[in-house]
Amino acid sequence: MKARGHTYADAAVVLGLSEASVKRLFSRAELSLQRLEQLCDWIDVEIAEVVDLAQAAQPRVTSLSPAQERELLRNPALLLTTFLVLNRWTEREILQTFDFSKPQLTQMLIRLERLGLIELLPFDRIRLRTARNFAWRADGPIQRYFAEQVLPEFLATAFDQPGERMHFVGGMLSRASVHRLHEAMEGLAR
């Protein structure tokens, strides 16, 4: 309503109620389907659009439980798919790049949907259900896995291929500089 420039007072006229009653209906989420249809007709919007907007406003996932992280670690393909999806890869890009069949990928995406990380949409689209500040648990199963398995393998790389580079500089930073560096890294992580 607000996006269309309408007020509670306008809605009250359409519904035949007082403005206070309309505010009460909205604040308590007690709008009947009939009244919702009246309002949708009035502002020329489909109920499905309202439902989509309501779902998009749902709280987003900021982290997984340790058990959920362990579930991802038990299935390397699912873990890979999780990272790809969180980095906004499409189904098509995943299928073109990795050796997954369409049914395998669909099963993994369904598992990610059950974990609350994504919502599967028509036409092979994926909507992330994660917050901008989504993070793996500090010292959780995924972070430990990366520290123990992935990081040593990564650092053992020669970094001699095009696009690869390792630059190591020794030095000391003040507390203020360390704080600024941490803030910059947090900004990059978002």
Rounded CA gap, 83 and 112, in Å? 11
pLDDT at 55: 67
* Other Cβ atoms within 10 Å of 29 Cβ, number: 7
pLDDT at 2: 79
pTM: 0.62
pLDDT tens figures, 119-178:
999 998 999 989 888 899 999 999 999 999 999 998 888 899 998 888 877 778 899 999
pLDDT at 57: 66
pLDDT confidence of 13, banded at 50, 70, 90? very high
Out of 54-68, 98-112, 114-128, 172-186, least confident range: 54-68
What is the largest distance, in Å, between two alpha-carbon atoms of the chain? 73
pLDDT at 174: 93
* Residue 185 predicted with pLDDT over 80: yes
Residues 6+ apart with CB under 8 A from 128: 85, 86, 88, 117, 118
